[in-house]
Chains A and B, each alone.
Chain A
C-alpha cells in the first residue's frame, strides 16, 4: 500500500503502538532545567547522551559576552550555568556561550549535520518543526516530555493526522519562502493545521534551497501544525554532504533517504492547493501570524469582518499595534529592524539581506540589527565580508542567539516601538512589553530599514 513520508518514518520508529523512538533530542537552557531536576529526584539516568545535544540560545546576550559566568543578568546567568552543569552531570555534549558551535538550537542541528532525513527529532521548543525541511519528523514538546525523552529515549504519542499542501507554479521575483509560509498561515488561520503533520510539496517547494525550506517548516507551528515536512532530494543531500555529523558512508545513506518521499497514490487526511504564482511579499498587521496581508494592501477594517470573534480580535490588535484601518502598509514606519531568529538567521538569509543594501544607508529614524543564528554563521558571514556591508550601512552586527525574537535577553523593544522583524511571532509583548512586531522576509526588513517604511520589494530599485 502506498505510504506517506510521515507514515514511513512513524512506522520505523514505533517501539510499540503509540510509543515512538526518538533519534535526536535537542536541549536548550529554558525548558530543560526542571527535566534534569526530575531525573535527579527520581534517581533516573539520561538514557542516551549520545542522541542528545545541548546549546544555550534563548538567554544569551548578543553583545560578545564570551562565557556564561560573565552574563550580567543574574537569572539568565544562572539558567545558562545550570545547563552547563546539567550537561556535565549527565554526559550530554553542550555548545554553550563561547563555543565555536554555539547558536540557536534549530540552526546548529542542521549545520552540524545532526539533522538528517528519516529521523525523529524533538526539542522543548515549538520551532523544532524547522528540522522537517530535511524529511525528518520533528516537533516541539513540553518539559514533562523532555524529561520523558531523557529517561526513556521515547515519547508516548497518538498518531497525528496528515495534510499535504501543494504549491502550484513558481514564486514570483522578490517573493521568498517567508512570504509563502506567511501567506499560507493567512489563508488557513493560526489553527488551520492543528492536529496535523503537514507535508509541503509542489514546484515552488522543490525550487527552494534547504535554508528556505527550513523557513517554511519553521513556521508550521504558527499555523498550529504539529510538524512540517519536505521530501528530501538532491538539494537536501548536497546541503548535507561534508557536514560533521552525517553518516560515514554518505552514499549508502542517500540510497536509504531516497526511499522516504511519499509514494504515488498515498492518501492524506487533508489536501490543500495553493497557487504559488499569486503569492506576494507579505507583512503582518496584527498580533497573530494569521493577521497578515500583502505589502500592497491596506490595514484591514474590523467592521468588514464576518465573525464577531474576528472583529473583536482585529479591533484589539489594531489598538495594540497603534494602527488605523485603511492605512496603506507601505506607509507604516518601523523604528526598529531585526534580522535574525530560527526562522531567518542562516547564511543565505544574511546574504540576501546584505545583497539588497547596494551601498545604501539605514534611515536616520531606524535602529537596525543583524543577529546571526549561530557562531558558525557569524564566522562564515565575516569571512564573506557581510558584516562590513551591514556595518557600513548602519546595521548593528551582533553575536549569535535568539536575540530579539523573544526578548529573554537584553535585545528587546521598548513600549510602543514598532519593529520590522524576520522572526516568527508578532504576539503582544513578544519582543518586549508594548512592542509592535511586523513579520517580514529578510529582504523586506532590509528595505524597511533603508527607506524607513515598508516597501514592495518587487518595485524597489
Chain B
C-alpha cells in the first residue's frame, strides 16, 4: 500500500448525500477479476447521462453517508484509479470507510459547514500527521483512529502485520476458541 502524508490540490465536488457504491461503480463492472481498470467507469451512469462532470483532482468533497450500500471495494478502486486520493464528507458508511483505509485512500470526516467552505475555496491541503485540513481562509481538524493513521502513514500491509502475531493466532486456535463453529470441509 502507498503511504500517505499530505494531499493537496484542487477539489472536485459531488453535491449529493447518500452516494451509494452502486452509483460509484455500477454492477456491470464488478464482473472483472482484476484489481485495476475501474477508474474509467467511475460514476458511469451519472457521467454518461450528463448528470455530473468530475475532474480527477486530488480531493473529492461530497455529502453525508458517502459510500453506503454494497461492500464492493471496487468503489474505492474506481475513485482512486480515477485520480482522487481522498474524499471529504460529513459521514461515511462503515464498510466504505474501512475499504478506503486498506487502499491508501483517505476518507476525511468534516462537518457540513467545513465541507461547504472547502467547496468555496476550491482547493485544500490535508495533513494526515497533524489531522488537519486547511484551505484559503480556514482550517479544521479531523478524527482518525491512531492505528489506522499509523498504517496509512507507513503504507503498512495489514496482512504482514497480522502474520507477525502468528504465535498468538496459533495459541487461540489451540484453545477453546479454535473449536467453535462448523467444519465446512466435512459436509
Contact = CB atoms under 8 A, between A and B. Distances in A.
Interface string B72-94: 11101000000000000001011
Interface string B146-166: 010000000000110111010
A130 interface: no
A124 B98 CA distance: 13
Interface in A281-325: 288, 290, 309, 313, 316
A427 B17 contact: no
Contacts of B16: 313, 316
A144 B73 contact: yes
Contact of B18 (A18, A145, A245, A288): A288
Contact of B159 (A79, A124, A151): A151
Interface string B163-187: 1010011001100011011111111
A77 B176 CA distance: 41
Interface in A396-438: 406-408, 425, 427-430, 433
B94 A124 contact: no
Interface string B43-63: 001000000000000000001
Nearest to A288: B18
B34 to A, nearest CB: 7
Contacts of A313: 16-18
B28 A125 contact: no
Contact of B147 (A15, A18, A433): A18
Contact of B181 (A23, A76, A141, A194): A23
B3 to A, nearest CB: 16
A151 B169 CA distance: 12
B93 A194 contact: yes
Contacts of B161: 156
B27 A406 contact: yes
Given A52-B184, A140-B71, A30 B30 contact: yes
A33 B31 CA distance: 10
A448 to B, nearest CB: 23
Contacts of A144: 73, 99, 102-103, 158
Contact of B182 (A126, A151, A246): A246
Interface in A208-231: 221, 224, 226
A152 B169 contact: yes
B184 A224 contact: no
Interface residues of B, number: 57
Contact of A191 (B34, B91, B159, B162): B91
Nearest to B151: A156
Interface string B108-143: 000000000000000000000000000000000000
Interface residues of A, number: 81
Contacts of B182: 24, 113-114, 116, 245-247
Nearest to B20: A427
A429 B45 contact: yes
B181 A190 contact: no
Nearest to B180: A23
Nearest to B163: A152
B26 A429 contact: yes
A33 B27 contact: no
Contact of A428 (B23, B35, B65, B68): B23
Given A24-B181, A116-B182, A158-B145, A309 B63 contact: yes
A245 to B, nearest CB: 4
Contacts of B186: 50
B5 interface: no
Contact of B187 (A44, A82, A244): A244
Which one of B94, B177, B178 has the greatest number of beta carbons of chain A within 10 Å?
A: B94
A245 B185 CA distance: 10
A376 to B, nearest CB: 13
Given A142-B71, A144-B73, A34 B63 contact: no
Contact of A16 (B71, B73, B165): B165
A188 interface: no
Contacts of A143: 35, 73-74, 99
Contact of B27 (A37, A91, A407): A407
A34 B34 contact: yes
Contact of A19 (B63, B72, B165, B180): B165
Contacts of B168: 15-16, 19
A375 to B, nearest CB: 14
A21 B172 contact: yes
A112 interface: yes
Interface in B6-33: 16-18, 20, 22-23, 26-28, 30-33
Contacts of A114: 181-182, 184, 187
Contacts of A288: 18, 20, 68
Contacts of B28: 407-408
Nearest to B166: A152
B184 A53 contact: yes
B95 A126 contact: yes
B172 to A, nearest CB: 5
A261 interface: no
A232 B159 CA distance: 33
B171 to A, nearest CB: 8
Contacts of B94: 160, 194-195, 224, 226
Contacts of B65: 190-191, 194, 224
24 contacts: A15-B172, A21-B172, A30-B31, A33-B33, A34-B35, A37-B34, A50-B185, A114-B182, A125-B70, A126-B70, A143-B99, A145-B99, A148-B162, A158-B147, A160-B94, A191-B64, A195-B94, A221-B95, A288-B18, A309-B17, A406-B22, A407-B28, A428-B22, A433-B45
Given A78-B33, A79-B31, A195-B94, 6 more contacts: A16-B165, A142-B71, A144-B99, A148-B158, A408-B28, A430-B22
